[in-house]
Chain A
Amino acid sequence: MRLAGDSGDGIQLMGSQFAVSTALSGRDFATFPDYPAEIRAPAGTTFGVSAYQINLGGEPITTAGDAPDVLVAFNPAALKVSLPLLHPGAVIVLNNDSFTARNLTKAGYDDDPRDGNTLDQFQVVTADISHLNFEAVRSFGLSKSESGRCKNFWTLGLLLWMFDRQLEPVEAWIRRRLAGKPTMRDANIAALHAGHAFGETAELSASLPQVSVETAQMAPGEYRSVTGAEALALGIAAAGELAERPVLFCSYPITPSSPLLHRLTRLQELGVGTFQAEDEIAAICAAIGASYGGMIGVTSSSGPGIALKTEAMGLAVSAELPLLIVNWQRGGPSTGLPTKTEQSDLYQAVYGRNADTPMPVLAAGSSGECFDMAVEGIRVAMRHMTPVILLVDGYLSNASEPWLIPVIESLAPIESRPVPELTGDSNPEMLAYQRDPASLGRPWITPGMPGLVHRTGGLEKDYVSGHISYDPDNHQRMTEFRQAKVDAVAGFIPDQAIELGDDSGDIVVVGWGSTYGPIYQAARRTGASFVHLRHIHPLPPNLGELLARYDKVLVPEMNNGQLATLLRDKLGIQPISFCKVSGQPFLISELAGRIETERTGSAS
């Protein structure tokens, strides 16, 4: 992390305080102060930039690191000096108030870097920091310059929110340091709390770039940095290209799903349209309408919004329409922890609808994998003519990682059952429901096609004709058919592979979603085997046989044991749950520790 501004901005102070709070949150850190030789260099210039760099993480750190992942830039000059140092995908916090024409000129910027594409590869958070800080300390009657000096603590408050660190150690430090100046003490504490509250109110969150596999292990090829939202947006667009159909993405803003909407609005030339609906229900219903009309309908939300969409998912199941529903999982229940990540919507996805309403469920393991799973989700949706849920751990939305750029040409086309040829005596209503024997997907017949006029909807329909049917035997048949269709997905997916380790042994760690990175490292360190699930429902057909080859199955999850329940239900095995529901990802060390504990247990 790099904090940069004018030498008078109190940068060094802020940096050391962040380091203190980091140390207190149990993370290692190293620091690297970087300030100008001139004690009072001209304000706003590039040579007057003062910076402070700290390195933090869950692992022992020995240097301050060359490339910062987080930059706080108090003025354009600080941005200009620091930008070349940053990792792609880094978080940049900018003070809007300092981006005046004069400061831009002093920094040597011809155009405002906040416009244009200079900052495209970063996670940019902008705030009117000077103004907001001034309002926060207004009641203390400070001079203008005294007020201005509080803004470093305002910004520190924002950072502490974004990185989920505690306010108290910093507040205690201010109390000690400014004990003799009660007004400044109280003003700085007020600024600290105001910055923190701003982050919470604006539901800002940030993720440090995720590196799950060391550079040494990276396969040859062309890489870029990508966030989950970017990769998912590209995957949705790629699926449209592979299916040769336009995509209509319909959503309602919600944290942390909105970045996907923003990303897709930039991909319109790929035949992608975006519709911001009036609510979550309208969003999925419009997506269903788009699918009914022949476009690929996609919607996205987070747990509470997904709950609202539930009834409409049933409609898409009943009408046998393709649809992709993305769930960026966040902490719950209810509004819960909007900015914190969790994996607690697995039950909702697999079991959470009225009646027997099965749907395929997929999960992405990393930001880059969001691309693959978006393509796979739409492939399954079209092949089987069914809505599909894609679960993504919320923080992947903004988390970036190095990504081996996929070759679009190597991906298979996406197809649904062909629309049947009309013959003289064909009954159009029956043609609509002539399903493929293997996938059980029906032909995607859409309004506008002559001669195929038929009715569909949410009332139970006759298996053959699609007419409304209350016939008991037909309902039995339709219920079994809907389950068989989802089961049929398993026939089209690859066998479950072992990510790491031996194909039998004392322990296998089974994970899903964003725990991929820490489990991979922990398994590598301990020599345990690692199985990572991308298909949650149905599970890969060989999974039961595979897991039976190990003495113990350990399932770490950021929920209260939901995948473990699913494995018990579907495979009849007794996995060991390792649950963490703190809103924080697993640390490698805690996973490795648990693996060792389980091993010791089995040895004794």
Chain B
Amino acid sequence: MNEQLTARDFATSQEVRWCPGCGDYAILKTVTRALADVGAKPESTVFVSGIGCASRFPYYVETYGFHTIHGRAPAVATGLKLANPELDVWVVTGDGDGLSIGGNHLLHTLRRNVGLKILLFNNEIYGLTKGQYSPTSRTGTVSPSSPAGSVDTPVSPGQFALGAGARFFARAIDTDKVGLGNVLRQAHAFDGASFTEIFQNCIVYNEDVFAAFTDRKNAADSQLHLKHGEPMLFGENNGKGIRFNPQTYAFDVVDAAESPGDVLVHDEKNAVLARLLIDLQLPVALGIIYRQPAEAFESAFYAHHPTRMRRTKSVADFIRGPNSWTVE
């Protein structure tokens, strides 16, 4: 198959069964487009997922796909990547799958820097089990399992990832074709574990939970689209900028025209900056927040294996052990 594939070539014959209006549809569309854009081959691309609404994803992409068990997709994908490092392995997970039941595997996959492209669809709710609060739900979330409001402190996917030693952390909004498409192409190109948090709107159980910054009417003032090496500007005509306040050790918003020298320049290799950007409430930081490549786990695994997993000797060479004897 040498001809250029299109997004449509990556759609399967399966009927897509997410709720009408679910943000997952937009993500699916942008992912298939991104696959076409990067020239992905269906036979060498694999989508691995766990359990949850997001985890139905592999059934809808015309590549190899493995729908595994709750929370364990990163572990299955790690074994797959070790077995065949040539494959493009994507992991699709959600806030419950990836950060609750599967938090341990996500932690270790990120610290090992396994070459997986991890997409975390964050809707701050359990959708498939009908609306219970999730580990990313804000404190006070009213749900069937927390009628008086949840009392848990939510986990920040970005802080979790950086704390685990992630080398690539990006964010995008489900319906933002341009922003999400760009992040997906960068995630695909990254050698190592790329971790992308996608703000995904669950229209049934948690509608508009991200509306404060995803609503197109307020987008300019509420979204900070990051570009490495460029000033952190946002707002109408990029009139506002982000400044570091050394008194509070936090970011301030400044008038970009009045104090252009104060506006920070994004450095995607700076982990301290990344942590402050992750916590920024309004505007919300989007795009590649942190990218600092290091040797991927599978590369190190093969480099340290004396024969790069090839069989260079026979069991017959080993089976005698240090001393053997003969019985006549």
**Which A residues fall within an 8 A CB radius of B?**
88, 117, 120-121, 215, 218-226, 230, 234, 237-238, 240-241, 246, 248, 250, 267-271, 273, 275, 277-279, 281-283, 285-295, 297, 311-312, 314-315, 319, 405-406, 408-409, 446-459, 467-468
Contacts and interface: CB of A to CB of B under 8 A. Distances in A.
A552 B235 CA distance: 88
B317 to A, nearest CB: 8
B64 A455 contact: yes
B315 A286 contact: no
Interface in B268-327: 301, 305-307, 309-316, 318-327
B325 to A, nearest CB: 6
B80 A289 contact: yes
Contacts of A268: 305-307
B80 A281 contact: no
Contact of A319 (B45, B66, B105, B301): B66
Nearest to B44: A448
Contact of B80 (A224, A277, A292, A449): A292
Q: Which interface class (under 10, 10 to 19, 20 to 34, 35 or more) fits B? A: 35 or more
9 contacts: A224-B325, A237-B318, A275-B301, A281-B72, A292-B83, A293-B80, A457-B49, A457-B66, A457-B67
Given A270-B313, A291-B79, 11 more contacts: A230-B321, A234-B318, A234-B319, A248-B82, A268-B307, A271-B307, A294-B84, A447-B45, A447-B46, A453-B43, A457-B49
Contacts of B311: 240-241, 246, 269-271
Nearest to A407: B316
A248 B83 contact: yes
B86 interface: yes
A269 B48 CA distance: 30
A292 B43 contact: no
Most buried by A among B79, B84, B306, B322: B79
Contacts of A277: 75, 78, 108
Contacts of A285: 68-69, 72, 75-76, 79, 105
A286 B65 CA distance: 16
> Which 4 residue pairs of A and B lie closest in terms of their CB atoms, listed nearest first?
A289-B79, A457-B67, A293-B83, A286-B79
A224 B323 contact: yes
B77 interface: yes
B165 interface: no
Interface stretch (B55-63, B192-200, B226-234, B256-264): B55-63
A431 to B, nearest CB: 13
B156 interface: no
Contacts of B307: 268-269, 271
Interface of A is mostly: mixed
A225 B325 CA distance: 9
Nearest to B112: A278
B218 interface: no
B242 to A, nearest CB: 37
A220 B107 CA distance: 55
A395 to B, nearest CB: 20
A221 B327 contact: yes
Given A293-B84, A295-B83, A447 B64 contact: yes
A406 B320 CA distance: 9
Contacts of A121: 321-323
Contacts of A271: 307, 309-312
A135 to B, nearest CB: 35
A131 B307 CA distance: 41
A508 B24 CA distance: 64
A289 B80 CA distance: 4
Contact of B322 (A117, A278, A452, A468): A117
B43 A250 contact: no
A88 B107 CA distance: 44
A293 to B, nearest CB: 3
Most buried by A among B59, B75, B320: B75
Contacts, number: 215
Contacts of A241: 311, 314-315
A425 to B, nearest CB: 16
Contacts of A468: 14, 59
Given A279-B104, A447-B87, A286 B64 contact: no
Contacts of B322: 88, 117, 120-121
A408 B316 contact: yes
Contacts of A295: 82-83
Given A117-B322, A447-B84, A453-B43, A286 B75 contact: yes
Contacts of B104: 278-279, 282
B42 interface: yes
Interface of B: 1, 12, 14, 42-46, 48-49, 58-59, 62-69, 72, 75-84, 86-87, 104-105, 107-108, 301, 305-307, 309-316, 318-328
Contacts of B48: 289
B150 to A, nearest CB: 27
Nearest to A275: B82
A338 to B, nearest CB: 22
B326 A288 contact: no
Given A271-B307, A278-B108, A467 B316 contact: no
A374 B176 CA distance: 52
Most buried by A among B67, B326, B328: B67
Contact of B67 (A219, A291, A408, A458): A458
Contacts of B82: 248, 273, 275, 286, 289-290, 293, 295
A493 B298 CA distance: 38
Contact of B326 (A223, A408, A450): A223
B272 to A, nearest CB: 27
Contacts of A248: 79, 82-83
A452 B43 CA distance: 7
Contacts of A454: 64-65
A573 to B, nearest CB: 38
Contacts of B12: 455
B43 A451 contact: yes
A74 B307 CA distance: 39
Most buried by B among A215, A221, A447: A447
B315 A289 contact: no
B316 A226 contact: no
Given A240-B311, A241-B314, A455 B65 contact: yes
A221 B320 CA distance: 12
Given A279-B104, A458-B69, A447 B315 contact: no
A281 B64 CA distance: 23
A289 B87 contact: no
Nearest to B42: A453
A224 B76 contact: no
B114 to A, nearest CB: 10
Contacts of B312: 269, 271
B72 A312 contact: yes
